[in-house]
Amino acid sequence: MGNWERLVWNQRDVLLAGLGVTVEVCAIAFTVAIIGGLALCLVRTYLAPLRPIAVVVIEFFRDTPIFVQLMWVAYVWPEMFGFPSTFFNAGWLALALQSSGYLAETFRAGIEAVPRGQREAAFSAGMSQSQTFARIVLPQVALATAPSIVNQFTVIVKSSTLISVITVPDLMSQSQKLVNVWYEPIEILTATAGIYIAFVFLISSAGKLLADRLLQRYGLNAS
């Protein structure tokens, strides 16, 4: 019990500071991934001239290992494009790029699952294409893809441990620093694993609650 107090409880400020960075990185990456994934999906689905470009981008993001993307964004992009200017920005951007590729395919599957007859009925009722998408298609896509979207958020959280490699002071980085100081990894890494488990569990629970709310709002029975 003494080791736990000395190595974990007494170091809680360091671990919590790292957790704060992890939460911030993951939240930004997830938000950008949602926007980027939806944009790529819409281009691939509705803009035929740009479809080949969207397909190449999506497959590149999906098929490149996250560690390779992280190194690429952190060290190649600044030389080529002048950004990102910090490793923190490189961390969330790399996570967002890969997840946007997966989310683009998730959104596309959700859109294709909406019966064509519903869109035709909306058009015949005088709704524009944008109104049809916002009022008919998008709510159903949100319902159908909610579990996959939440799962992708958990993937971002777990992949975020790699940003410690580029010196972002996240939870994993702070945990490794403590291990290097005390040379007693059992308690520190076990506590770190427990924090990640609790974080992922919280995300999953919040995702289920949101999905149930969406089901209730649109007149369906929550499962």
Tens of pLDDT, residues 69-96? 999 999 999 999 999 999 999 999 999 9
CATH tag, 2-217? 1.10.3720.10
Task: Give the per-residue pLDDT at 1.
Answer: 58
d(CA 21, CA 139): 32
**Per-domain residue ranges of the chain:** 2-217
Q: Across the 223 residues of the chain, what is the mean pLDDT of every consecutive 10-residue run?
A: 81 95 97 96 93 96 94 95 95 96 95 87 85 86 89 96 95 95 92 96 90 70 41
pTM of the model as a whole: 0.91
